């Protein structure tokens, strides 16, 4: 389990955290409630 990280939410902060974990050689798993990533960045046109 060493090096495994759980990230809750795939919004702006979650995506940045995911990238930083990958850069450090960690194994992140991201959990997102909705079917889309982006959090509050997403909007309907």
**Whole-number pLDDT of residue 11:** 93
**Whole-number pLDDT of residue 38:** 86
Alpha carbon distance 35, 39 (integer Å): 10
C-beta of residue 7 within 8 angstroms of C-beta of residue 17 = yes
Give the model confidence (pLDDT) of 1-45 as tens digits.
Answer: 789 999 999 999 999 999 999 999 999 999 999 888 888 777 666
**Domain of 10, in residue numbers:** 4-41
Q: Which residue has the tokens 């960045």?
A: 41
Q: Both tokens of residue 33?
A: 């409630």
Tell me the pTM.
0.79
**Whole-number pLDDT of residue 45:** 61
Q: What is the DSSP letter of 41?
A: G
| Count of domains forming the chain | 1
CA dihedral 17, 19, 21, 25 (to 10 degrees): 180
C-beta of residue 28 within 8 angstroms of C-beta of residue 18 = yes
């Amino acid at each position: 389990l060493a090096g495994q990280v759980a990230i809750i939410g795939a919004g702006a902060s979650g995506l940045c955290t995911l990238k930083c974990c990958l850069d450090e050689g960690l194994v992140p798993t991201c959990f997102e409630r909705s079917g889309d990533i982006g959090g509050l960045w997403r909007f309907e046109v």
